[in-house]
Amino acid sequence: MKLVYISHPYTGDEIKNRVETREMCKQIQRQHKDWCLYCPLDNHIFAEQAGYEYSRFIEWDLFMLAKCDIAVFCGDWERSKGCMAEYKEAKRLKKEIYFERVNKS
């Protein structure tokens, strides 16, 4: 089994981004039944409600990314400061990297 980090933009349109990320996770899970997905957008919801700062989320995200075998970058990740930090760290750690787009059909 592989632990897989899902990177997707969040800031801007938080509701749309959560919905899109969940759809992407469903697609990925259907294709890769032996992957265990870790999705920060859903994982951080309670810390977000508790008022944690953005820097704490990035710290946690990079910590979890280091534990994962694979990183999957979704949506307009190239335009996201957080996703770009995750991408640079995934490259530095020599993680297996995939790029996905939501299939809207």
Q: What is the pLDDT of residue 45?
A: 80
In this structure, what are the phi and psi dihedrals at residue 18, rounded to the nearest 5 degrees?
-65, -45
Q: What is the pLDDT of residue 77?
A: 93
**Rounded distance between C-alpha atoms, residue 90 and residue 105, angstroms:** 30
Confidence check: pLDDT of 104 > 70: no
Q: Which amino acid is at 62?
A: L
Structure tokens of 2? 């592989």
Residue pLDDT, tens place only, 2-20: 999 999 998 888 888 889 9
Q: What is the pLDDT of residue 8?
A: 94
In this structure, what are the phi and psi dihedrals at residue 68, rounded to the nearest 5 degrees?
-85, 155
**Rounded distance between C-alpha atoms, residue 100 and residue 105, angstroms:** 15
Judge contact between 105 and 23, C-beta under 8 A: no
